[in-house]
Amino acid sequence: MNRYTFAAGERLVSPAYVRQGCEARRTHEHLVLQLLEKGKCPEDGWDESTLELFLHELAIMDSNNFLGNCGVGEREGRVASALVARRHYRLIHGIGRSGDISAVQPKAAGSSLLNKITNSLVLDIIKLAGVPAVTNCFVVPMATGMSLTLCFLTLRHKRPKAKYIIWPRIDQKSCFKSMITAGFEPVVIENCLEGDELRTDLKAVEAKVQELGPDSVLCVHSTTSCIAPRVPDKIEELAVICANYGIPHIVNNAYGVQSSKCMHLIQQGARVGRIDAFVQSLDKNFMVPVGGAIIAGFNDSFIQEISKMYPGRASASPSLDVLITLLSLGSTGYKKLLKERKEMFSYLSNQLKKLSEAYCERVLQTPHNPISLAVTLKTLDAHHDTAVTELGSMLFTRQVSGARVVPLGFVQTMSGHTFRGFMSHANDYPCAYLNAAAAIGMKTQDVDLFIKRLDKCLKTVRKEQNKQNDVPTVDNYDKTENVAIEDTALRLDNVLLDTNQDTSS
């Protein structure tokens, strides 16, 4: 509607009422204007009506939605299915151009705006979440691992002699593969055991740099968010080493935006040393579907180089998801989620403490890990992994997702590298354990159900252990929860490995 259409409307219904409606329209427009002018996440979340109106407005700026358009190219944003068009709000042209994923598309002013605004909003949120020094970032429709690969591929052009990436060990396949895929040789630095925690071995890192020679090292690849008892790397100290030796530093901040501690490490690292880029998952930090990441950094031109390294256009879908999400939440809503997560972490921690004590186990002391917790499974006869394994599959069938049991001595070989004690981030961690995490969006109800089900599973496993024979007893699991009694067949299935690994990317 514009002034002409409003005028026509006034002739049909009372001018006073139409004027009121016109006035109301302006408040929506005002929100859009502020967004475009400031490029910041609005404090208060937008109504669905403002949001959808905005997306419609963007869409009609794309040539595929021009009423008079005629397309004679090979990529015209035509859509065969109305369902598909609708679910993308008719934004079909994706983002970026052949030269640069951040570039503007002549055919698609709306999609281009969407891309710019999303990146701008996301930058604002990263600042707000604890890295005010960040200067540039962009959303890329690839998960964290592939985004790390893109960073490494970009560095290759700046460091043609480099062959190695120095990598404090973290037992997550996609981290490791991100380096392999990029064509580099990961140099694994084993962690130090400090108390219960597995922490960065700074001396080993520096020694390795000296041994290989800085020029042959592409970068240090460190990690913030990780599963306990591993804790975030000593980013600050690593950043200083990198600065000293002139080595790039790429931080895997997978689900670290949700934790002020992880973000603070990055902010400090950049302040006192060198961080070239830090990469975070969209889905894990912003509660959107899997498939996007943010590549961010402190040096505009390097981040642009990465964005120019992506050959061709890309899906706008992850950008659209995060845009909708941030505009719906507003910065207030997002901060509320961060606050609730922190509280949920305390709550989970306390509940696990109580439960574990009841079973003569304990929560590992990992104060540096702000998200993940680990409970020992010593009493489950860790050397015969059967009980640990069984616990894992029991939790799975009882619809506990995301918990993982870590037995001792699991060996995994990837691309020629052998990891002893795989999943535990160490060759010989002292005991088997169970992990649980308090991630963004978790609810009290999740914790309560988990504790209740874990209690029952532990009870069952104990009972079975106490018997000398192997015949499984009837599970006393509460039927009201509507979960089928775990059947023997399933236990023999190698669900274990799947369950254990399903959080590893």
**Residues placed in the known binding site:** 75, 97-98, 105, 271, 313, 398, 463
Residue 239 tokens read as: 């950043």
Residues across the chain: 505
Q: Does 472 bind a second copy (CB under 8 A)?
A: no
Residues 387-446 that bind a second copy (CB under 8 A): 396-397, 399-404, 415, 436-442, 445-446
Handedness of CA 214, 216, 219, 220 (dihedral sign): negative
- Binding a second copy (rule: CB under 8 A), the pick from 118, 136, 149, 267 is 149
Which of 332, 323, 276 shows the shortest CA–CA distance to 304?
276
Amino acid at 115: N
Can you say how many angstroms the Cα of residue 297 is from the centroid of all Cα atoms in its chain?
Answer: 17
Name the residue nearer to a second copy (CB basis): 167 or 206: 167
Q: How far apart are CA 66 and CA 45, in angstroms?
A: 30
Q: Least separation, in Å, of the C-beta of 19 and a second copy?
A: 8
Q: Least separation, in Å, of the C-beta of 112 and a second copy?
A: 4
- CB-CB contact of 231 with 262 (8 Å): no
Residues 66-95 that bind a second copy (CB under 8 A): 66-88, 90-95
Q: Report H helices in 467-494.
A: 488-492
Name the residue nearer to a second copy (CB basis): 466 or 482: 482
- Binding a second copy (rule: CB under 8 A), the pick from 199, 208, 453, 456 is 453
- Binding a second copy (rule: CB under 8 A), the pick from 135, 216, 299, 315 is 315
- Of 14-22, 362-370, 377-385, 455-463: span binding a second copy (CB under 8 A): 14-22
Which residues on neighbouring strands pair with residue 373, listed in sequence order? 436
Q: Least separation, in Å, of the C-beta of 300 and a second copy?
A: 17
Q: Least separation, in Å, of the C-beta of 20 and a second copy?
A: 6
Name the residue nearer to a second copy (CB basis): 241 or 277: 277
- Binding a second copy (rule: CB under 8 A), the pick from 136, 200, 307, 372 is 372
Residue 120 tokens read as: 């701008």
Residues 316-335 that bind a second copy (CB under 8 A): 316-318, 321, 324-325, 328-329
Cβ neighbors of 17 (< 8 A, separation 6 or more) are none
- CB-CB contact of 293 with 279 (8 Å): yes
Residue 348 tokens read as: 């989970």
Which of 369, 401, 366, 384 shows the shortest CA–CA distance to 483?
401
Q: Least separation, in Å, of the C-beta of 203 and a second copy?
A: 29
- Binding a second copy (rule: CB under 8 A), the pick from 287, 299, 386, 459 is 287
Q: How far apart are CA 263 and CA 275, in angstroms?
A: 13
- Burial of residue 438 (number of CB atoms within 10 Å: 0-12, 13-18, 19+): buried
Q: How far apart are CA 385 and CA 410, in angstroms?
A: 10
Q: Using the 8-state DSSP alphabet, how is residue 425 labeled?
A: T
Tell me the binding residues for substrate. Answer: 97-98, 105, 313
Q: How far apart are CA 164 and CA 220, in angstroms?
A: 9
- Of 265-273, 425-433, 461-469, 497-505: span binding a second copy (CB under 8 A): 497-505
Residue 300 has a CB neighbour count (10 Å cut-off) of: 10
- Binding a second copy (rule: CB under 8 A), the pick from 299, 349, 379, 503 is 503
Residues 242-281 that bind a second copy (CB under 8 A): 255, 281
Name the residue nearer to a second copy (CB basis): 194 or 498: 498
Q: Least separation, in Å, of the C-beta of 425 and a second copy?
A: 15
The enclosing H or E element of 417 equals strand 417-419
Q: How far apart are CA 185 and CA 163, in angstroms?
A: 6
- CB-CB contact of 371 with 435 (8 Å): no
Residue 203 tokens read as: 């001396």
- Of 122-130, 169-177, 188-196, 237-245: span binding a second copy (CB under 8 A): 169-177
Name the residue nearer to a second copy (CB basis): 329 or 364: 329
Per-residue x/- marks for a second copy, 99-138, CB under 8 A?
x----xxxxxxx-xx--xx---------------------
Number of residues forming the site for a second copy (CB under 8 A): 182
Q: Least separation, in Å, of the C-beta of 206 and a second copy?
A: 27
Residues 185-224 that bind a second copy (CB under 8 A): none
- Binding a second copy (rule: CB under 8 A), the pick from 122, 127, 170, 172 is 172
Q: Does 307 bind a second copy (CB under 8 A)?
A: no
Residues 16-75 that bind a second copy (CB under 8 A): 16-33, 36-37, 39, 47-53, 56-57, 59-63, 65-75
Cβ neighbors of 80 (< 8 A, separation 6 or more) are none
Q: Does 141 bind a second copy (CB under 8 A)?
A: yes
- Of 235-243, 361-369, 378-386, 494-502: span binding a second copy (CB under 8 A): 494-502
Q: How far apart are CA 158 and CA 208, in angstroms?
A: 21
Name the residue nearer to a second copy (CB basis): 182 or 198: 182
- Burial of residue 423 (number of CB atoms within 10 Å: 0-12, 13-18, 19+): buried
Q: How far apart are CA 418 and CA 285, in angstroms?
A: 31
Tell me the binding residues for tRNA. Answer: 271, 398, 463
Q: Least separation, in Å, of the C-beta of 383 and a second copy?
A: 26
Name the residue nearer to a second copy (CB basis): 16 or 360: 16
Q: Using the 8-state DSSP alphabet, how is residue 168 labeled?
A: E
